[in-house]
Amino acid sequence: MVEDRLGITFHALADPTRRGMLANLALGDKSVGELGEPFHMTFAGASKHVKVLEGAGLIERRKAGRRQICKLKAEPLREAQDWLRQWEKFWIDSLDRLQALVEADKGKTA
């Protein structure tokens, strides 16, 4: 089931506008209109992005009068980070091998 959540999370994160909205929410709760403002989009456009983020469990929305206030929920981001961490050793090992090759090549030409 984690794989399904990861797919939904990565789909939500694939869009730069949604990533920007999450970055804004990391600074504090915002209304849907406030989330759309930096991207010069209508409330309806911002609301579509918010629905994707909400569906991925990355935000929660509540009503405050006529406003819809969004709050960051970071748990799915932790799950994504945990999944990505497994690849960290692969990349570190690959870069270490590349560095060794470059250094060996420099030794041959010196």
Average model confidence (pLDDT) for the chain?
Answer: 92
Domain 2-85 bears CATH identifier 3.40.50.620: no
- For residue 9, which amino acid is it? T
pLDDT digits (tens, 9 = 90+) for 36-73: 999 999 999 999 999 999 999 999 999 999 999 999 99
Of 28, 27, 24, 74, residue with least CA distance to 49: 24
Of 26, 29, 93, residue with least CA distance to 60: 29
| pLDDT > 90: percent of the chain | 74
Given a contact cutoff of 8 angstroms between Cβ atoms, the answer to whether 67 and 30 are in contact is: no
First to last CA, the chain: 55
Q: Give the range among 11-15, 40-44, 47-51, 105-109 with minimum mean pLDDT.
A: 105-109
Structural domain boundaries in the chain: 2-85
53 by Cβ neighbours in 10 Å (0-12 / 13-18 / 19+) ranks as buried
